[in-house]
Amino acid sequence: RQYLNDRPVEMSDSSSKSVWNDLSNIRGKLTFIKTRKTIFHDVFRNMPTLLPVDGFLTLDYDTYNKHEFLNRERHIGIDIAAKVGTVVKAAGNGEIIFANWTPELGNLVILYHGNDTFSFYAHNLRILKTEGFVTKGEPIALLGSSGLTSSGPHLHFEIWKAGVPVDPKKFILALQSRNN
């Protein structure tokens, strides 16, 4: 005897097997959906979607400033001006793969977010965390003006996907809502 909603139901063997096969297929599909949802949630949590510093956008992606125009180089990030010492936060969960001084970009932090995605945080006054895993919103540096290419206190922020620079505004949720 089979039950449906706590009531006995008469079923033939063939219809009973069909119902149980259908239920088994549905359970399998639900498990698949839950797994995909978990994977998507984990990937999204790691993606650099948080604006790393509160400030003003002073130079956009793929625009030219005076020095870059002379060198014919693209600006492959965005510049966000703020007060020296403002906290710079990780835009997404990730592993610190570089945190050190470079001549052009000054104190630089690079995070790997998985899924072949990296974020760069340049011209910092000081690096707060030099290794390990960081979570979205965790302080990683203090904003500054270090490096030869800095023109004043700001964060130069880049995102690279599959070895190619991409416009950070395509990732940063706060900037997407301002543009719509």
- How many angstroms separate the CA atoms of 25 and 86, rounded? 54
Can you spell out the DSSP letters for 129-170?
Answer: --SEEE-TT-EEEEEB--STT--SSEEEEEEEETTEEE-GGG
Q: Tens digit of pLDDT for each residue in 48-62?
A: 999 999 999 998 888
- Which of helix, strand or coil describes residue 107? strand
Please say if the pLDDT value at position 13 is more than 60.
no
Q: Tens digit of pLDDT for each residue in 107-129?
A: 999 999 998 999 999 999 999 99
Helical H segments across the chain, by residue range: 13-46, 66-71, 173-179
Q: Tens digit of pLDDT for each residue in 63-97?
A: 555 555 555 567 899 999 999 999 999 999 999 99
